[in-house]
């Protein structure tokens, strides 16, 4: 376990004291030990692939895919051959933006994005599938929800620290692409500028004062959101190009 946190220190995400504090957090260690997806060595995959100094773009997910064949520590990314529904909509938006054919042909592994400084960070880093065969479906689902909510709560201080570390960067352009209100809220809760907080949930490009950090907000790419009037499919193609413009370089989003 110590080696996992040492890599985060090496990558600039944690100080040694912070790493020691998390190592002594028994609730967090229990979440890691009980994680059924991703595997323990992939829990910090996003942060291991993208050191703080290399961050160009931040995309936040929620918690890992329940299926361990999918989850490998990168939000929205999957190692399975079957494309998750939210990722299908992300691919559709990229196809509209760049004239690609990701929806038909892409691999679901987004590691190449991470290699270009795209931090694909879930706000809960572990998922624990419960074994409760003695319960009926309703009871089992209720228990699963309670267990996963506990994981999300335990990871909250860790993720808050990571987001705060990114927001402290002053000397380079960074883009937060925030999909869904949960992602909007998590980031804005860590922004100190009271006037900037008035932009919460607003569409358009907003740069945080005294930084080169741009925030782009829209709805979540999930089918539930898209099919109920969410504006991801409308805004995402605009935002991918806004992102490239702000960075003054292009992320090769379609090379998977």
Give catalytic residue positions.
63
8-state DSSP, 83 = P
Q: What beta strand segments (E) does 108-249 contain?
A: 118-122, 174-179, 205-207, 213-218
The span from the CA of 76 to the CA of 59, in Å, is 9
Q: What tokens does 256 get?
A: 């998977």
Contact 29, 119 (CB under 8 A): no
- Chain centre to alpha carbon of residue 244: 19
8-state DSSP, 127 = B
The span from the CA of 7 to the CA of 19, in Å, is 10
Sequence-separated (6 or more) residues with CB below 8 Å from residue 21: none
Which contiguous run of DSSP H or E holds residue 142? helix 137-167
The span from the CA of 55 to the CA of 34, in Å, is 29
Q: Where are the alpha helices (DSSP H) in 1-136?
A: 2-10, 16-23, 26-34, 45-49, 85-98, 102-105, 111-114
Let me know if 213 is exposed, middle or buried by CB neighbors in 10 A (0-12, 13-18, 19+). Answer: buried
């Amino acid at each position: 376990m110590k080696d996992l946190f040492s890599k985060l220190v090496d990558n600039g995400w944690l100080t040694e004291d912070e790493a020691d504090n998390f190592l002594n957090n028994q609730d967090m260690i229990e979440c890691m030990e009980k994680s059924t997806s991703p595997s323990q060595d992939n829990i910090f995959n996003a942060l291991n692939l993208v050191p703080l100094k290399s961050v160009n773009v931040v995309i936040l997910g929620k918690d890992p895919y329940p299926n361990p064949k999918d989850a490998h520590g990168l939000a929205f990314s999957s190692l399975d051959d079957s494309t998750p529904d939210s990722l299908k909509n992300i691919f559709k938006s990229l196809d509209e933006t760049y004239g690609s054919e990701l929806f038909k042909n892409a691999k679901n592994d987004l590691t190449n994005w991470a290699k270009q400084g795209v931090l694909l960070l879930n706000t809960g880093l572990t998922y624990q599938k419960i074994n409760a065969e003695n319960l009926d479906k309703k009871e089992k689902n209720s228990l699963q929800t309670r267990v996963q909510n506990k994981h999300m709560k335990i990871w909250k201080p860790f993720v808050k620290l990571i987001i705060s570390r990114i927001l402290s960067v002053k000397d380079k352009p960074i883009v937060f692409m925030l999909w869904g209100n949960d992602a909007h809220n998590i980031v804005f809760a860590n922004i100190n500028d009271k006037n900037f907080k008035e932009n919460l949930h607003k569409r358009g490009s907003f740069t945080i004062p005294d930084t080169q950090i741009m925030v782009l907000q829209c709805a979540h790419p999930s089918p539930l959101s898209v099919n109920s009037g969410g504006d991801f499919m409308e805004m995402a193609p605009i935002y991918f190009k806004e992102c490239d413009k702000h960075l003054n370089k292009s992320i090769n989003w379609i090379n998977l």
